[in-house]
């Protein structure tokens, strides 16, 4: 069963304000476009709610999830973005193909994030059915694309100038 992060869609006013000063790259896989376009819509809604200028957003579509790590690298390298949001959907099939692609994608995105010391938010669904994907792309389990954008903003704030507020949301400071 999927977990739910507390306050997963809400950003602090300081985080919303800081979000405007960064540039974001969004890499969106073309497989399962019904799902990935919904993830993109949720992601863009977060940036819109933070008043991020459209000129600070670069959106590129890639063939599939396997291509997301290279797309993230190119967005960082050639578009000089501060963070990447990678969006995709892998639905389990009859073979192990989805597992191989999921592991390669996750590992590749992590590697790019660590190499570039920049957030690469993981908005890739790995599900058993299309219904599960729909539930996580704007359905009953929220929108994981929106959550990935929130994660990217929070990580940029952690690295940047936005001060940590004691006790919120991930500190043990009294």
Domains and CATH numbers, the chain: 13-159 (3.40.50.960)
Please answer whether residues 130 and 36 qualify as being in contact, where contact means their C-beta atoms are separated by less than 8 angstroms: no
Rounded mean pLDDT, 24-39? 98
Is 97 annotated as catalytic?
A: yes
∠ at Cα 65 (64, 69), nearest 5°?
Answer: 115
Sheet with 83-91, side-by-side order of all strands: 57-62, 24-29, 83-91, 120-127
Q: Give one DSSP letter per residue of 26-37, joined into a string.
A: EEEE-SSHHHHH
pLDDT score of 15 more than 80: yes
The active-site residue out of 56, 60, 79, 97 is 97
Whole-Å CA distances, 63 to 11, 68, 126, 142, 171: 31, 9, 17, 25, 39
**Paired tokens of 154:** 């929070």
- 100-158, pLDDT tens digit by residue? 999 999 999 999 999 999 999 999 999 999 999 999 999 999 999 999 999 999 999 99
Rounded mean pLDDT, 27-31? 97
Residue 23 neighbours by CB distance under 10 Å: 17
């Amino acid at each position: 069963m999927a977990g739910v992060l507390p306050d997963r869609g809400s950003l602090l006013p300081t985080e919303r304000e800081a979000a405007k000063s960064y540039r974001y790259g969004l890499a969106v896989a073309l497989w399962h476009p019904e799902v990935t376009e919904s993830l993109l819509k949720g992601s863009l809604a977060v940036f819109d709610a933070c008043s991020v200028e459209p000129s600070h957003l670069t959106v590129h579509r890639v063939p599939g999830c396997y291509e997301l790590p290279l797309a993230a690298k190119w967005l960082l390298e050639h578009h000089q973005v501060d963070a990447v949001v990678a969006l995709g959907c892998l639905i389990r099939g009859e073979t192990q193909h989805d597992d191989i692609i999921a592991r390669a994608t996750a590992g590749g995105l992590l590697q790019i994030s660590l190499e570039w010391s920049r957030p690469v938010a993981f908005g890739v669904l790995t599900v058993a059915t299309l219904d599960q994907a729909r539930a996580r792309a704007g359905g009953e389990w929220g929108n994981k694309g929106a959550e990935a954008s929130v994660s990217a903003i929070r990580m940029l704030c952690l690295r940047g100038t936005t001060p940590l507020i004691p006790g919120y949301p991930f500190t043990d400071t009294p």
